[in-house]
Amino acid sequence: MPKPILDSTDRKILSELQADGRLSNQELAERVALSPSPCLRRVRALERAGVIRRYAAVLDPAQIGLGLLAYVTVKLEKRGKMPVDQFTRAVESWPEVIACYSMTGDMDYLMRVQVEDLEHYSRFVMDKLLKQPGVIDIRTNFVLERVKETTALPLGHLA
């Protein structure tokens, strides 16, 4: 699928929606200097093109009792494809894993794991992660402080 060409108005719409996905079409149209009908058409076109994938509420993990964030790297044994397929299916079923990426370098996967506390993390590692066939090494880094965290993607390169 070819990448859509985004003009300055599309970029303004995306910027506003990234900042506040609950804007009404009327409010969005005012902010980007369009009338409501053309604004809605542009938003729908961005959705159809897959530029806007979905809308979501961003929750504060600490407010819902998930105060510990860990970045976990995982290394799998390299014999055959089975451990990889089984591992990725397992990861998709673990609610503690909020993001997982296949990586280059020494480790095969990088996971972002959000849990209640160290005890919850220990249960996750012992009962789920280390029980997966093919897992030969894991390394964990715990977040001490969130310096910057955003869901907004940079748009400046589109100009």
CATH architecture for residues 61-142: 2-Layer Sandwich (3.30)
* pTM as predicted: 0.87
What is the per-residue pLDDT for 117?
Answer: 98
Q: CA 133, 137, 139 angle in degrees (round to 5)?
A: 130
Among candidates 67, 63, 87, which has minimal Cα distance to 77? Answer: 87
What is the per-residue pLDDT for 1?
Answer: 62
What is the per-residue pLDDT for 4?
Answer: 78
Assess if CATH 3.30.1130.10 describes domain 8-57.
no
**According to CATH, where is 3.30.70.920 located in the chain?**
61-142
What is the per-residue pLDDT for 127?
Answer: 98
Each residue's pLDDT, cut to its tens digit, for the chain (159 residues) gives 677 789 999 999 999 999 999 999 999 999 999 999 999 999 999 999 999 999 999 999 999 999 999 999 999 998 766 678 899 999 999 999 999 999 999 999 999 999 999 999 999 999 999 999 999 999 999 999 999 999 999 999 998
